Amino acid sequence: MSETKLDVTGLNCPLPILHARKLLQGVSAGTVVDIRASDPASVKDFNAFCRKTNSDLLEHTEERGIFTFSIRKGK
């Protein structure tokens, strides 16, 4: 299982999701993507994104206004 990072801090909805979608399209199933975002709406957006793409939200944290998501791409 490989791991990839994506930093979308400073971008607002819908750009974080669009960047994540593009990145996930180019990686293999099972790849873990760590995403950093600053948009508070990204919490709700990435939860919905994972449900729609059959990906797993492995972890979500928030520290000083930066939201970090670990997502494993589904099949």
What CATH number is associated with residue 21?
3.30.110.40
- pLDDT number for residue 2: 57
- Interhelix angle for 15-25 vs 42-53, to 10°? 30
Q: Which of 1-5, 20-24, 29-33, 52-56 has the lowest mean pLDDT?
A: 1-5
Q: Average pLDDT of the chain?
A: 94
- pLDDT number for residue 3: 73
13 catalytic residue (yes or no): yes
The single-letter code of the amino acid at 56 is D
Sheet holding 3-7, edge to edge: 3-7, 32-37, 66-72, 56-63
What's the whole-model pTM score?
Answer: 0.91
Count of domains observed in the chain: 1
Residue 46 is part of which domain span? Answer: 3-72
Of the pLDDT bands very low, low, confident and very high (cuts 50, 70, 90), residue 1 is: low
Pick the catalytic residue from 6, 7, 11, 13. Answer: 13
